[in-house]
Amino acid sequence: MGRLMNRHNAAINAFAVRRLELKPSDRVLEIGFGGGVALASLLGAASFVGGVDRSRAMVDWARARFAAAVASRRADFREGSVEAIPFKTASFDKACTVNCVYFWRSLEAGFAEIHRVLAPGGRVVVGFLPKEWMDRLGHSADIFTTRTSTEVLAALETSGFREAHIERPAPDSRWNAIIATT
């Protein structure tokens, strides 16, 4: 399943990582890292990578795959949800999440937690396929909650983020990367 997610999400993850504008001193959090397609890029660009995922199997896989980074305390992967991120307040400079907002119980609660773990001046990148495209895929409504760009932007603002805006790699791209700062 992780390999399938990686293939399907590679382009949007690469775009999201570029939009983070990482510096070597940055501490970055990935929420819902799944198959880990972005983790190597994040580890190559930042001083520390934290990860939170709902799946124990994905957390165990990431700990094993990036065991050297975990052992040297350059990475820490934890099981958890966006509504209760298991890291301290102001622990990160940057955060990203790709194709995960469909699974959140509450956009506002998730973004409030991301805001909590970001230091002042922090940056978040949220990659997702908006409702008008996601609905066409026919995913089960009891698993996926499709989101409009307007809903995501509003939830970011409600949660204290500012300068929220949408970026796409090309005008005809279906998915969005919404970028905001604390």
Residue 95: pLDDT above 70?
A: yes
Residue 8: pLDDT above 90?
A: no
The whole-angstrom distance between residue 130's C-alpha and the CA centroid of its chain comes to: 15
Helices (H), the chain: 2-20, 39-45, 56-65, 67-71, 107-117, 131-134, 149-158
Per-residue confidence (pLDDT) for residue 2, from 0 to 100: 45
99 closest CA partner among 61, 137, 59: 137
Per-residue confidence (pLDDT) for residue 120, from 0 to 100: 98
Identify the structural domains of the chain with CATH numbers, from first to last.
2-181 (3.40.50.150)
Average pLDDT on 9-38 reads: 93
- CA distances 4 to 36, 52, 94, 97, 143, Å, are 11, 19, 26, 17, 18
The overall average pLDDT reported for the chain is 90
* Bridge partners of residue 49, in order along the sequence: 28, 75
Per-residue confidence (pLDDT) for residue 160, from 0 to 100: 97
Strands 27-31 and 92-98: parallel
Tokens describing residue 62:
């990431």
The whole-angstrom distance between residue 90's C-alpha and the CA centroid of its chain comes to: 16
Over pLDDT 70: what percentage of the chain?
Answer: 87
Per-residue confidence (pLDDT) for residue 4, from 0 to 100: 42
Burial of 28 by CB count in 10 Å (0-12 exposed, 13-18 middle, 19+ buried)?
buried
Contacts with 159 (C-beta within 8 Å, 6 or more apart), sequence order: 108, 111, 112, 114, 115
Per-residue confidence (pLDDT) for residue 141, from 0 to 100: 63
Residue 116: pLDDT above 70?
A: yes
Per-residue confidence (pLDDT) for residue 1, from 0 to 100: 42
Model confidence, pTM:
0.91
pLDDT in tens, 121-150: 999 999 997 666 555 566 656 667 788 899
Model confidence at 30, pLDDT cuts 50, 70, 90, reads: very high
Tokens describing residue 28:
């970055």
